[in-house]
Each structure stands twice: as structure tokens, then as C-alpha cells.
Amino acid sequence: MGAAPHAGLRKPTNVSLDTSLVSEAKALGINVSRACEQGLAALIVEERDRRWRAENADAVASSNAFASKHGLPLAGLRQF
């Protein structure tokens, strides 16, 4: 994963983490703040995706039902 979208903007935040994880991360030279940020960013992407799928489930099902019944629009123009 590349730099966070707001890499220049930081907000000091207190978090509670398992002490053994923090100790191991520090021993391995892992930046705990950046690791937390990357994990949070990944969870945000997953949650947005989950919510989009839930909010659009009916439309996707309708589109799939139409394609099953009538075929894909413009399928006759395919060259493969």
C-alpha cells in the first residue's frame, strides 16, 4: 500500500494496543503509528465496499436478472 491519501495531515490519537504486539513491532523497527494507519485505511476500504454492496444489492440483482433473461446489451457487437 502506498502513502495514505492524507499523509501530510496528522492528528495525535491515543489507542490501546496489546503490549506484546507493540514490543515486537518496535523490536522489528515497525512504525506503530504508520502500521495502525495502514490497517485503519484498509478497514475503511473494506467497510465502504461492504456498504456499497449492501446499498446496491437490489440494483445489481435487477441488472443480473435482466442480463440473464435478455442477454447482455450490445452482445451482438462483440468481436471476441
The pLDDT of 49-78, averaged and rounded, is 93
Q: Is the pLDDT of residue 4 over 60?
A: no
pLDDT at 6: 60
pLDDT at 40: 96
How many C-beta neighbours within 10 Å does residue 45 have?
11
What span, in angstroms and rounded, lies between the C-alpha atoms of 56 and 25?
40
Q: Is the pLDDT of residue 1 over 80?
A: no
Model confidence at 3, pLDDT cuts 50, 70, 90, reads low
